[in-house]
Amino acid sequence: MIYLDNAASALPFEEAVVFSPEFGNPSSDHSVGHQANAVLGKTRALLSMMFGGRPSEYHFCSGATEAANLIIQGRCHFLKMANPTRNEIIVSAIEHPAIFNTVEHMRQSGFIVHIVPVDHRGIIEASFIYDILNENTSMVLVMGVNNETGARQPIDEIARKVKSIDSEVSFICDGVQTLTKVASPDLTYIDALIGSGHKLGAAMGIGFFYLNRRFRLSPLLFGGEQEAGVRPGTENIYGIESLHRALEHHQKNADQYHQHVHALNLLLQKTLEQSNIPFSINTQDGETSDYILSICFNGIDASRAIKFLSQRGICVSKGSACSSVSPKPSRVLSAMKLTHTQMSSTLRVSFSPLNVKEDVLTFCAAMRELHSHNVETSTLVQQNQM
């Protein structure tokens, strides 16, 4: 199997998924409970060391979707009681469905939503944010790296500017495709940051989020006092230990991983060029993450290509796994003003440090085969029409 769909769920590090976890409840006041609680402590400390902030400002949950809902809905519910005039939300047009659809739900609850456009490279028009920011703005939401295209957003610059205009506006960043893959955002101006374990080589079912001490929200769930009351319920010790083990891999091998993935990205583009396959990179001339390539293969239907590749044991996608079953065109690619033909010919190839050169070469060989088949079919059709 050739797995190149790591933006959906990354190849796991074996040590991060095959181990015997602590079995105690971390809230129990005995030795076994203390051992389980130590897993929480060491993982918060590692998150703090790698990404900034205090260990106590990191919280665990089931995944990024839950984190997005807890943060956005929780903040909106808090503001409805504490400061109801702060009823406007600014969100980029290319946010992950977990963010974008939660904000849309808040629109139905009475919040006014402003959607920030992007340019042809998938980079948001930051000036739009500054122009519409006002005393009623409650939050600004901009992701660090887009999950479909790999386009990097100027998070630090935008967050700093937003806070300089109005320090009371909350800045929320989806860091799922950012953390460990590109430079981490500066938390000085960010109120909430979201991450997901299975995008980093950990097990599925574990997410985490950073909330600085300025950020207040109303909890959506009620129960015990776990996670400072923000997310009650017994913590997923297996998932948290898995996250810790995956993060250790990235911490110890950061430079090596970045260089390796960069080389794979360049190899793929170079090999396609040498194969004379018509293609274009949808984020051409934009700043991107090496981990994600959004490629338009001219004249090749993406759905057909995915089936063709899958039959050969090669896994890629059209875009966000969360929207893959939808017949609608990609919201992200639509925001970039790609044509319907371009969107229907786009594949997303996404890498892991565990991928190797042979994965890339096998994918390119299969695409060359598919392209040749398309050319032959088109020639036969033309001949029959003559």
| φ and ψ of 49, to 5 deg | -65, -40
Copy the structure tokens of residue 38: 């130590």
At 295, list the tokens: 């490629």
Structure letter (DSSP) for residue 103: H
What digits encode the pLDDT tens for the residues 210-231?
999 989 999 999 999 999 899 9
Query: Is the Cβ–Cβ distance between 282 and 296 less than 8 Å?
Result: yes
Nearest to 356 by CA among 1, 7, 17: 1
For the chain, residues classed under CATH 3.40.640.10 are 15-248
Q: In what order do the strands lie in the sheet with 346-350?
A: 279-281, 292-297, 346-350
Residue 208 has phi, psi (to 5 degrees) of -150, 155
Q: How far apart are CA 45 and CA 9, in angstroms?
A: 25
Listed residue (115, 114, 191) closest to 160, CA to CA:
191
End-to-end CA distance of the chain: 42
Q: pLDDT digits over 78-132, tens only? A: 999 999 999 999 999 999 999 999 999 999 999 999 999 999 999 999 999 999 9
Burial 311-323 (b: 16+ CB within 10 A, else e): eeebbbbbbbeeb
> Can you tell me the distance from the alpha carbon of 105 to that of 110, in angstroms, rounded to the nearest whole number?
9
Contacts of 76 (CB under 8 A, 6+ apart): 89, 106, 109, 111, 138
Q: Which residue has the tokens 């997005």?
A: 68
What are the tokens at 115? 């959607």
Which CATH code for domain 15-248? 3.40.640.10
**322 in active site:** yes
Contact 268, 363 (CB under 8 A): yes
In this prediction, residue 375 carries a pLDDT of 62
pLDDT at 374: 75
CB of 39 closer than 8 Å to CB of 47: no
- Which residue in the list 61, 76, 315, 322 is annotated as catalytic? 322
Lookup: tokens for 185: 């955002």
Q: How high is the pLDDT of residue 373?
A: 82
Residue-by-residue pLDDT tens, the chain, 386 positions: 999 999 999 999 999 999 999 999 999 999 999 999 999 999 999 999 999 999 999 999 999 999 999 999 999 999 999 999 999 999 999 999 999 999 999 999 999 999 999 999 999 999 999 999 999 999 999 999 999 999 999 999 999 999 999 999 999 999 999 999 999 999 999 999 999 999 999 999 999 999 999 899 999 999 999 998 999 999 999 999 999 999 999 999 999 999 999 999 999 999 999 999 999 999 998 999 999 999 999 999 999 999 999 999 999 999 765 555 556 889 999 999 999 999 999 999 999 999 999 999 999 999 999 998 876 555 544 445 55
DSSP string, 189-228: S-SEEEEEGGGTTS-TT-EEEEE-TT-----SS-SS-GGG
Amino acid in the structure at residue 121:
R
Residue whose C-alpha is closest to residue 63's, from 153, 172, 174: 174
pLDDT attached to residue 378: 52
Residue spans in the chain of domains classed CATH 3.90.1150.10: 253-385
At the top level of CATH, which class does the domain 253-385 belong to?
Answer: alpha beta
pLDDT at 383: 46
Measured CA to CA, the distance from residue 309 to residue 96 in angstroms comes to 26
Distances (CA, A) of 233 to 7, 62, 223: 28, 11, 7
Report CA Rg, the chain: 22
